[in-house]
Amino acid sequence: MSKATDEATVIPHPRATSELFGHREGEQTLLAAYRSGQIPHAWLIGGFDGIGKATLAYRMARFVLAHGDPASPAVQRATSLQIDPDDHSARQVASGSHGGLLTLERVLNDKGVMNTVITVPQVRRTLSFFGSTAAAQGWRVCIVDTVEELNQNSANALLKVLEEPPPRSLFLLVSRAPARVLPTILSRCRKLLLRPLTADEVIHATARATGIDVNDPALIDAADAAEGSVARALMLLGGDALKLRERTAKLLSTLPRVDGNELHALSDALGTSDRDALGAFMDTMERWIMARLRNPEAVADLPRLARLAEVWEKITQSARETETFNLERKPLVFTAFGLLAEVTR
């Protein structure tokens, strides 16, 4: 049995990940901008899930916090954003204790439940953060992971800070869907879009995260099916995720016909608390829908595309609530297939 299927793997948070796979061009773009001494104060780092967007953002943050002077010899001769993991700034970033770094991401609320959005009070912390002098003198870096998890109010709160950035401030906004980011935020950011990783890059990144041998057949199969995403490869290595993905894809291929018995069976396969199973289900749904939204032949029917995009928003919101509140999966499955059957009929 592959190591991937019989051992639990703890994947390090991007803030503690020192190695970057792929994205050489994106890394060089950030390095050149910082070295110039005129780096844009806000960047939108976009791309599919699991390809290293947040990893690149934290890599940039570590470099800036470790090398506060863009004109210094260390910066001018640097060939990458790599920082020694034992560097003081790198260790502080990894532990989440660096006074010059603020991360905005979903957190647990007072009841111990994960918030569904990044809240307004969280974003308002940026005002005191960028205005404080308590941290070591130098740059202030704010990472938003991800922009899609801002609601209308928290996005507007962030916009106020982006409109009047303090000196030596850097915003790194991670986005899985840049086209859906508020135009007012987009207009204040330099866009850096990352491509999916190659299969070989996925293999080596996943092997590094899990300790699996790069020649492991299960790892190679997962990387081939992952479409450039390390997150997908890790998910597919999680036991029955690949079978669940195939089962979901088969049901999607029968739309608009819906077999109630098969939906019940799929719901049972999703279980009640398996995050990998839910992730595999939603990942397959997203790939199926995005393939239709990007189909050139479908452009002729824009109203149908708009309805499909709206349906996907409803499905993702339902999935987020299902995961956040640990709800039964069956209503999500039936709702998702019911909406898709209606829009494809």
Count CB neighbours of 261 within 10 A: 7
Number of domains present in the structure of the chain = 2
Residue 228 lies in a domain: no
Are residues 260 and 180 located together in one domain of the fold? Answer: no
Residue 3 lies in a domain: no
Residue 204 lies in a domain: no
Location of structure tokens 């398996």: 274
Residue 276 lies in a domain: yes
Are residues 184 and 43 located together in one domain of the fold? Answer: yes
Are residues 150 and 271 located together in one domain of the fold? Answer: no
Are residues 170 and 285 located together in one domain of the fold? Answer: no
Residue 213 lies in a domain: no
- How far is residue 323's CA from residue 320's CA, in Å, rounded to a whole number? 5
Are residues 171 and 58 located together in one domain of the fold? Answer: yes
Class of residue 237 by CB neighbours under 10 A (exposed 0-12, middle 13-18, buried 19+): buried
Are residues 129 and 60 located together in one domain of the fold? Answer: yes
Spatial CA neighbour of 186 closest among 158, 167, 211 = 158
Are residues 252 and 109 located together in one domain of the fold? Answer: no
Residue 11 lies in a domain: no
- How far is residue 215's CA from residue 219's CA, in Å, rounded to a whole number? 7
Are residues 315 and 183 located together in one domain of the fold? Answer: no
The CATH number for 73's domain is 3.40.50.300
Per-residue pLDDT reduced to its tens digit, 167-214:
899 999 999 989 889 999 999 999 999 999 999 999 999 999 888 999
196: DSSP letter: P
Residue 61 lies in a domain: yes
What's the start-to-end Cα distance of the chain, in Å?
A: 43
Are residues 182 and 56 located together in one domain of the fold? Answer: yes
Are residues 174 and 270 located together in one domain of the fold? Answer: no
Per-residue pLDDT reduced to its tens digit, 256-307:
999 999 999 999 888 776 777 888 898 889 889 988 888 877 667 788 888 9
Per-residue pLDDT reduced to its tens digit, 51-60:
999 999 999 9
Are residues 180 and 306 located together in one domain of the fold? Answer: no
Location of structure tokens 């901008």: 33
**Domain range for 305:** 244-344
Are residues 258 and 148 located together in one domain of the fold? Answer: no
Residue 234 lies in a domain: no
Question: How is 44-73 classified by DSSP, letter by letter?
Answer: EEE-STTSSHHHHHHHHHHHHHH---TTSH
Least confident range from 26-40, 68-82, 312-326, 328-342: namely 312-326
Please tell me the pTM assigned to this model.
0.76
